[in-house]
């Protein structure tokens, strides 16, 4: 236990005195500060009226219905709408010569042509125009059949009021922070997993291992290293998310309109606790595996190939969860199974809890399985470590490692 404490302190200290570690943390906090303070500064700078001559020119020609003519400038407010008598041919020539950006040639209530040079990814002019015309058409027809302007407006803009009574989760609200948390978990595990691997592999390649292994028990080594990495990662996350929360609260009034940002910072407390639990346990399991893999390489160059199996497993789990989350059906059979398998459950179960209603007993079973597995993998990886650290030369096959582990100490 004393050894564990010594190793833990030493490892933790080396994280916090690592310039890259501190640098990245500060950098991320600064980025978040800039993001969170952004609307405040934008508000302070007086918005200048954008001069109309800088807007791209949209040419409109042909037989334009009067109601379309009235509102077309409003619909395409980011264009300088110019009416003309051009034909399709002369208009496309002008557009090809960059004299205008795009144009419409109408013939009554149906669009004749939309003329544009390059159709950009986000070009929604056709949709806008179509909506404008159909609305004008309905409005005009209703007016023609004897309704007053107001009556037809009421009919056209009618919207029912629907009240939602939900017994489960609001997936739309939960989506963003679930997404962010899963992503944070993914990044942190990958990053710290690599750090643990490197730390073990460096000790081995610098041969400090020879001394360490004769000075300390492998279990103390493994747990000391991994838990130090876990705490370091945790502190980093707390710094980043804490800064985000702090800056958000300072600038809360400026963010009032942004639903996404508000939904992220409006995370329910119980979900936050679940996040902590799954974060820590998931982190531990993977960090142990990464550490064990690190102990089986003898040259730093081999680290990447050796951690590949763990990496691939982890990325697959990430994609399973991400696809399920994206598809809107987070409670499919695959997710249910994954939420009980220790390697996938941290992300899968957390997603299910956040997005759907999971019975409490399922959560408890999943957590208990996770805790037991984390401990078992910890001990197992200490044995792999012990067997692996003194093997030099080519990285051993996984089967050889396992054989050595079970063949005694």
> 281, 298, 307: which is closest to 372 by C-alpha?
281
Least CB distance to other proteins at residue 206 (A): 5
Nearer to other proteins, 160 or 408 (CB): 408
Candidates 49, 74, 127, 409; binder of other proteins (CB under 8 A) is 409
Residue 210 touching other proteins (CB under 8 A)? yes
Least CB distance to other proteins at residue 215 (A): 4
Can you tell me the distance from the alpha carbon of 407 to that of 405, in angstroms, rounded to the nearest whole number? 6
Residue 353 touching other proteins (CB under 8 A)? no
Q: Under a CB-based contact definition with an 8 Å cutoff, are residues 228 and 387 in contact?
A: no
Nearest-5° angle of CA 29, CA 192, CA 177?
A: 55
Q: Report residue 93 as tokens.
A: 């020539």
Can you tell me the distance from the alpha carbon of 227 to that of 180, in angstroms, rounded to the nearest whole number? 24
Which of 79-87, 97-105, 214-222, 366-374 is the region at the interface with other proteins (rule: CB under 8 A)? 214-222
Least CB distance to other proteins at residue 409 (A): 4
- Considering only CA atoms, give the Rg of the chain: 31
> Per CB under 8 A, which of residues 86..105 are in contact with other proteins?
none
DSSP 122: T
Nearer to other proteins, 17 or 97 (CB): 17
Least CB distance to other proteins at residue 342 (A): 29
Beta bridge partners of 58: 81, 102
Nearer to other proteins, 342 or 396 (CB): 396
Q: At what angle do helices 125-144 and 149-156 cross, to 10 degrees?
A: 130
Least CB distance to other proteins at residue 3 (A): 6
Residue 66 touching other proteins (CB under 8 A)? no
Total of chain residues touching other proteins, rule CB under 8 A: 21
Least CB distance to other proteins at residue 195 (A): 14
Nearer to other proteins, 136 or 298 (CB): 298
Least CB distance to other proteins at residue 4 (A): 10
Beta bridge partners of 80: 57
Can you tell me the distance from the alpha carbon of 127 to that of 374, in angstroms, rounded to the nearest whole number? 54
Least CB distance to other proteins at residue 209 (A): 7
Q: Report residue 146 as tokens.
A: 């004897």
Nearer to other proteins, 94 or 217 (CB): 217
Q: Under a CB-based contact definition with an 8 Å cutoff, are residues 113 and 89 in contact?
A: no
Candidates 64, 68, 196, 213; binder of other proteins (CB under 8 A) is 213
Beta bridge partners of 63: 107
Can you tell me the distance from the alpha carbon of 200 to that of 295, in angstroms, rounded to the nearest whole number? 6
Candidates 51, 160, 359, 408; binder of other proteins (CB under 8 A) is 408
> Per CB under 8 A, which of residues 170..209 are in contact with other proteins?
203, 206-209
> Per CB under 8 A, which of residues 370..399 are in contact with other proteins?
390
Sheet holding 80-83, edge to edge: 80-83, 57-63, 102-107, 110-116
Nearer to other proteins, 156 or 211 (CB): 211
> Per CB under 8 A, which of residues 2..21 are in contact with other proteins?
2-3, 6-7, 10, 14
Beta bridge partners of 111: 106
Q: Under a CB-based contact definition with an 8 Å cutoff, are residues 81 and 125 in contact?
A: no
Residue 77 touching other proteins (CB under 8 A)? no
Phi, psi of 112 (to 5 degrees): -85, -60
Can you tell me the distance from the alpha carbon of 252 to that of 245, in angstroms, rounded to the nearest whole number? 10
Least CB distance to other proteins at residue 6 (A): 5
Nearer to other proteins, 246 or 402 (CB): 402
Q: Under a CB-based contact definition with an 8 Å cutoff, are residues 84 and 106 in contact?
A: no
Candidates 52, 77, 167, 214; binder of other proteins (CB under 8 A) is 214
**CB atoms near residue 67 (< 10 Å):** 18
> Per CB under 8 A, which of residues 215..234 are in contact with other proteins?
215-216
Residues that bind other proteins (CB under 8 A): 2-3, 6-7, 10, 14, 203, 206-216, 390, 408-409
């Amino acid at each position: 236990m004393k050894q564990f404490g010594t190793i833990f302190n030493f490892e933790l200290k080396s994280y916090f005195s690592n310039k890259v570690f501190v640098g990245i943390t500060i950098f991320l906090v600064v980025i978040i500060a800039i993001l969170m303070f952004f609307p405040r500064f934008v508000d302070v700078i007086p918005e200048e009226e954008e001069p109309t001559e800088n807007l791209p020119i949209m040419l409109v020609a042909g037989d334009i219905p009067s109601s379309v003519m009235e509102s077309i400038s409003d619909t395409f407010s980011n264009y300088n709408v110019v009416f003309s008598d051009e034909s399709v041919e002369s208009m496309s020539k002008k557009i090809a010569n960059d004299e205008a950006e795009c144009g419409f040639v109408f013939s009554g209530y149906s669009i004749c042509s939309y003329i544009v040079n390059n159709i950009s990814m986000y070009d929604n002019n056709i949709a806008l125009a179509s909506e404008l015309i159909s609305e004008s058409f309905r409005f005009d027809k209703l007016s023609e059949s004897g309704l007053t302007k107001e009556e037809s407006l009421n009919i056209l803009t009618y919207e029912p009021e629907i009240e939602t009574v939900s017994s489960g989760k609001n997936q739309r609200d939960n989506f963003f922070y679930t997404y962010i948390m899963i992503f944070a978990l993914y990044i942190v595990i990958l990053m710290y997993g690599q750090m643990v691997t490197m730390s073990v592999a460096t000790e081995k390649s610098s041969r400090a291992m020879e001394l360490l292994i004769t000075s300390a028990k492998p279990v103390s080594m493994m747990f000391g290293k991994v838990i130090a990495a876990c705490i370091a990662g945790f502190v980093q996350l707390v710094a980043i998310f804490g800064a985000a929360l702090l800056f958000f609260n300072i600038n809360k009034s400026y963010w009032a309109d942004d639903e996404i940002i508000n939904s992220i910072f409006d995370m329910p407390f119980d979900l936050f606790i679940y996040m902590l639990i799954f974060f820590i346990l998931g982190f531990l399991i993977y960090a142990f595996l990464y550490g064990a893999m690190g102990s089986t390489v003898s040259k730093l160059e081999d680290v990447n190939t050796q951690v590949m199996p763990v990496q691939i497993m982890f990325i697959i789990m990430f994609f399973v969860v991400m696809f399920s989350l994206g598809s809107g059906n987070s409670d499919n059979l695959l997710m249910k199974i994954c939420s009980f398998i220790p390697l996938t459950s941290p992300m899968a179960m957390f997603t299910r809890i956040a997005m759907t209603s999971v019975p409490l007993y399922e959560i408890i079973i999943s957590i208990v399985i996770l805790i037991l597995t984390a401990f078992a993998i910890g001990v197992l990886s200490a044995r792999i470590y012990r067997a692996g650290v003194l093997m030099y030369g080519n990285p051993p096959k996984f089967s050889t490692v396992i054989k050595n582990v079970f063949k005694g100490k």
